[in-house]
Amino acid sequence: MSELNKEVVDLVWGKPTGGGVSTSIFRRWSQGFVFSEHEQTALKQFEGGPCAVIAPVQAFLLKNILFNRESSTWRKMSEEEQKMALCSTLSEILESACASPSTGFCFVTWAKGQSPHTSTLSKTQTQSQTQDMPRPESSQSPQEQQPTALAAEDLGFEQFHTVLHKLTVLSVSDLREEVLSLYQSWRGCCGVLLFLYSVILTKGIENIRNEIQDPTEPLIDPIHGHGSQSLVNLLITGHAVSNVWDGDRECSGMKLHGIHKQASVGFLTLMESLRYCKVGTFLKSPKFPIWILGSETHLSVFFTKEMSLVGPESPSEQARRVFQSFDPEDNGFIPESLLEDVMKALDLVSEPEYVSLVKSKLDPESLGIILLGPFLLEFFPDQDSGIPDSFPIYHYNGLKQSNHKERVEYVEGTALVLGFEDPMVRTDDTPVKRCLQTKWPYIELLWTTNLSPSMN
C-alpha cells in the first residue's frame, strides 16, 4: 500500500492544515460494522461522521433482507445470517464501484500480524518500516487477532496507514469469497475505513477524481468529519459525482456531472425543502422503496415494504415531473407563456386555440401564471397512482443517542399519501416529514412513538 498511501489519504482526507487528521476525527471513523443488540438487522454508529458509509450500507442491507430473503421475520437474524447479509451487501457495493471488470476488485486490510491487537511493534518501529518488508507472524490465535469494534486507543492516523495491505481478485466469485473471509476485519477496528478504502481502490483513484466536481474537495471533511455528497453517491450508485440531479448540466461552459441511471436505493435531503438543491428522479424514485435521508449533519434511512411506491411512473406523476422541469426554482407555478411547451412535452393537444382556452380556465384572473395543482386537476383529475392510502413505514438512525431510550431500533409508523386537495389529517411539521414531502408533497406520518424519529 505504501505507494498508494499518499494518493488515498489526499483523496479521502484532503491536505488538512497541520499535516494530519485530528485524533478525535480519526477515532470517530475507526469503528467497524456492528449490529445493534436491540435490532438484529440494524447497524450501530458510535459517533458522528461515518454515517456517510454506514447509512448507504444499511440501505443496501435492508434491500437484501427485505426483498432477497424468503423469511417473513426480517427483523430476526442469527449471527450467521448477519454475516451472510452484511458480506453480500459489501460485495454488491464493491461490484457496483468496479469501473472495469478487467482491473479486478481491490481489498484493503491489515498487513499480516498488524491488526490493532496483534502488532507487537512500537509506533516508531512500525512507521520506520517500509510496506514491502515482511511482517512478523503473530503468535496469537486467529480469534485473539480480531480487533474490537471500537478503535484501539494506541492506533493513530499515521500508524493506521503504515499497517495496511492491498489485495486484488479478478472474478466476482473470488470477490464474494474474499469479502466473507474478511468478515472479522469488517466488524472490527477501522472496518468502515478498510471497506471505504477497498471501494476507492476498486473504483480507481483517477476515476473518482474525474467524477468529483472539485478534485481538491476531500471525501471526508478533515475538520468536521462529515462525508461528502460525492462519497454518498459513490456508495449508492458507483459514481462519485458531486450532484444529485439527473444527467449532466452545463454551467458557464463547465460540465457538472449528475446521476445517470435509476439507483437501487434512493436519496432525499432536507436541503431540498430549504431550496438549496433539487434531487433528480433517478435518486428520488429508486428501484426499491428505501431512501437515505440527509439532514444538515447526518444520514438516516426511511424504508417500507410497499413496492407500489416505486412502480412505473403514473401519467400524473410524469406530468408533475415535466411541469417542475419548467419550474426550476420550484415555485409551484410557471409563466403562462410556457404552458404550450409543457402540454407539448406531455403529448397533450397543443393547438394554439386550445392552449388559449386552457390558459383562460387555469388563469381566470389573468395573473400570467399557471399553478401546478389546477393544471394536474384539469388534465389528470382521477388519476390513481397505485399507491395505497396508507402503508407501514420504518425509520433507522444508527446513533444510539438519537434513538428512544438510547437503543438503536427502527421507529415504526404509518404513512398516508393524500391527493392535491387539503389533507383531512394534519400531523406535526417535523424534519423527517419535510424531507419526505420533497418526494410526496401531501404525505402525513403517524409514528407509534410519542416523538417523531430524529434525522440528526
Q: What is the identity of the amino acid at 88?
A: S
What are the tens digits of pLDDT across the range 262-309? 899 999 999 998 888 889 888 999 999 999 999 999 999 999 999 988
Amino acid type, 202:
T
Report if residue 250 sits inside a domain.
no
Structural domain for 347, as ranges: 315-380
> For 88-97, 182-191, 275-284, which range has the lowest pLDDT when averaged over its residues?
275-284
Residue pair 398/426 in contact by the 8 Å Cβ criterion: no
Q: Are residues 394 and 357 in the same domain?
A: no
- Residue 254: pLDDT band with limits 50, 70, 90: confident
The confidence band for 426, taking pLDDT boundaries of 50, 70 and 90, is low
pLDDT-above-90 percentage for the chain: 58
Q: pLDDT tens digit string along 210-232?
A: 999 888 889 999 888 999 999 99
Task: Tell me whether residue 122 is in a domain.
Answer: no
- In tens, the pLDDT along 10-43 reads 999 987 666 668 888 999 999 999 999 999 999 9
- Using 50, 70 and 90 to split pLDDT, how confident is the model at 182? very high
Considering 380, 404, 432, which residue would you say is the last residue of a domain? Answer: 380
Q: Name the average pLDDT for the chain.
A: 85
Assess contact for 115 and 146: CB atoms under 8 A. Answer: yes
Residues 216 and 345 in one domain: no
CB count, 10 Å around CB of 46?
20
* Cell numbers standing for residue 339: 404552458
Active site positions, annotated: 51, 298
pLDDT confidence tier of residue 1, bands split at 50, 70 and 90: low
pLDDT beyond 80 at 124? no
Per the rule left: phi > 0, alpha: psi between -120 and 50, beta: everything else, 366 is left
Do residues 321 and 430 both lie within one domain? no
Q: Which of 201, 221, 242 is the last residue of a domain?
A: 242
- What's the confidence (pLDDT) of residue 136? 36
Structural domain contains residue 302: no
Q: pLDDT at residue 424 above 80?
A: no
User: Taking the CA of residue 291 as centre, how many other CA atoms within 13 Å lie in the half-sphere pointing to its CB?
Assistant: 31
The arithmetic mean of pLDDT across residues 342-356, rounded, is 93
Q: Residue 127: inside a domain, yes or no?
A: no
Task: Provide the domain count of the chain.
Answer: 3
345 within domain boundaries: yes
**Which CATH number is 331's domain given?**
1.10.238.10
84 CB burial (10 A radius; 0-12, 13-18, 19+):
middle
Same domain for 219 and 363, yes or no, is no
Are 106 and 180 in the same domain?
yes
Closest to 259 measured CA to CA, from 242, 271, 278: 242
Residue closest to 35 by CA, chosen among 232, 191, 200, 155? 191
The count of C-alpha atoms lying within 13 angstroms of the C-alpha of 61, restricted to the half-sphere facing its C-beta, is 27
Residues 219 and 346 reside in one and the same domain: no
Q: For position 289, what pLDDT does the model report?
A: 97
